[in-house]
Structure 1
Amino acid sequence: MSHFFPSSQEIAVNGRQILRGPQRRIDSIVAVAGMLSEGSLRLEPDDTQETLVQKLLPIPGIGPWTVGYLAMRILGSSDIFLPSDAAVRNGYGLLRGDSLAQARTIKATELGRMAEPFQPWRSYLTLHLWRVSGEK
């Protein structure tokens, strides 16, 4: 293997030169990378969604979507649903036959109700809706 993902220290030091997107997102990524590299933030294998909330939500720029996404990806949580995610909304709308314009009008509350029967496997629903959204 000739390419490796940069370490948290490398992102903290050089992230502003390579990251793209809104400045607030870049600031958050660089701040978290700095905290991880200096040890003031530790993400552990035995963390739970609740401990991630406690550790991450106080950090500026980190919100519930990010904590949910990390719980799904890092912790392997099976029951994470992200009803505010645009691709989740669009995927659901496309599956039920909506145009993208119609799908964009779906509210997070409707998505949350739709996802309830899928507990405790809503992470798989989220991934499926992301895939459907990406196909169109």
Structure 2
Amino acid sequence: MLKIILALLIAIPSIALAEDTNTKSDIRRVIRKNLRDIKNCYKSSLEKVSNEEKFEGKIVAGWDFDKDGTVTKSWIVDEKTTMKNEEVKTCVTAAIKNWKFPANAEGKATTIHGYPFLMKLDEKKN
């Protein structure tokens, strides 16, 4: 049985770099709540690749969200991303644009400079 492993890397310097207008735990909570979106990007693209293609790696995404928590822009941090599949990367940025973060009490926008998602297959049989 193939099982998709999608991991959030626990040491997240990117959240530390985010302006302290939203708490780190609020940001992590939204990411965890929407992690299925990222997993679905990987899963749908996985069905289209050949068995020979190495289809795992890290995607580091960044995004901005406004004072109301609406994501206004998302991107891939290419120099930190090891996943080569463009379809997965495009899907991840599109998925993140649909996320909603808590409104900022100070009325400020927030930037996440790079949040890593690790994607790989677990080929162990259960």
Q: TM-score range by the shorter chain?
A: under 0.3
Q: Which structure carries more helix by proportion?
A: 1
Structure of higher CA gyration radius:
1
Q: Which structure carries more strand by proportion?
A: 2
The one of the two structures with greater contact order (alpha-carbon pairs below 8 A, sep at least 6) is: 2
TM-score between the two structures when normalised by the length of structure 1: 0.24
TM-score between the two structures when normalised by the length of structure 2: 0.25
